[in-house]
Amino acid sequence: MKKWLLLLICSLFGVSLSGCSLQNVVESVSPSREETPQDIHPDSTRVYMDEIQGTLQTFTGNKLTLTSSSQDYTFDVSQATLESVDGMVRGDSISVIYEGQLSGTDTSTVRTLKVVDDYHDMDSLKERTTHGQVQELTTNSITIKSKGGKTATFPITGTEQYYQNGIKAGKWVYIHFKGEMDTPDPENPSHLYGFHTKVFSVSDIDPLKVPEPTPTPAPSKNKDQEKERQMRAVIQGIQTNILQVSVENTDNLLNLNMSAIPCYFSGGLSSGSHVTVTYTGEFDGVSTAGISILGITGEVPESLSDHGISFTVSGDITASTSNTLTLLTYDNMYVTCSIENASNSSTGGLLSGSSIKITFNPAESRNSNIVSAIKIEDLYT
Lowest-confidence segment of 23-32, 235-244, 248-257 by average pLDDT: 23-32
Rg (CA), the chain: 33
Bridge partners, 292 (sequence order)? 280
H or E element at residue 9: helix 2-18
pLDDT of residue 43: 53
Q: What single string gives the DSSP state of each residue in 162-183?
A: EETT---TT-EEEEEEES--B-
174-216, pLDDT tens digit by residue?
999 999 999 888 888 899 999 999 999 999 999 999 988 765 5
Determine the pLDDT at residue 4. Answer: 43
361-378 confidence digits (pLDDT tens): 999 999 999 999 999 999
Q: Does residue 211 have a cis peptide bond before it, meaning omega lies within 30 degrees of 0? A: no
Under the banding of pLDDT at 50, 70 and 90, the label for residue 46 is low
% the chain with pLDDT above 70: 84
| pTM score over 0.95 | no
Give the pLDDT score at 306.
Answer: 87
Q: Does 16 or 241 have the greater pLDDT score? A: 241
What is the reported pLDDT for 185?
Answer: 84
Q: Provide the pLDDT for residue 26.
A: 36
Give the 3-state secondary structure of residue 262. Answer: coil
Question: Is the dihedral angle over the CA atoms 352, 356, 359, 361 positive or is it negative?
Answer: positive
User: Are the CB atoms for 231 and 277 separated by under 8 Å?
Assistant: yes
- For residue 301, the tally of other CB atoms under 10 A from its CB is 25
Residue 130 pLDDT > 70: yes
Secondary element (H or E) of residue 29? helix 22-29
The per-residue pLDDT for 34 is 45
pLDDT value at 258 more than 90: yes
For the ranges 20-29, 45-54, 88-97, 320-329, the lowest mean pLDDT is seen at 20-29
Q: Please report how the helices 22-29 and 2-18 are oriented relative to each other, as an axis angle in degrees rounded to 10.
A: 110
Band of the pLDDT at 29, cuts 50, 70, 90? very low
pLDDT at residue 8 greater than cutoff 80: no
Q: What is the mean pLDDT of the chain?
A: 88
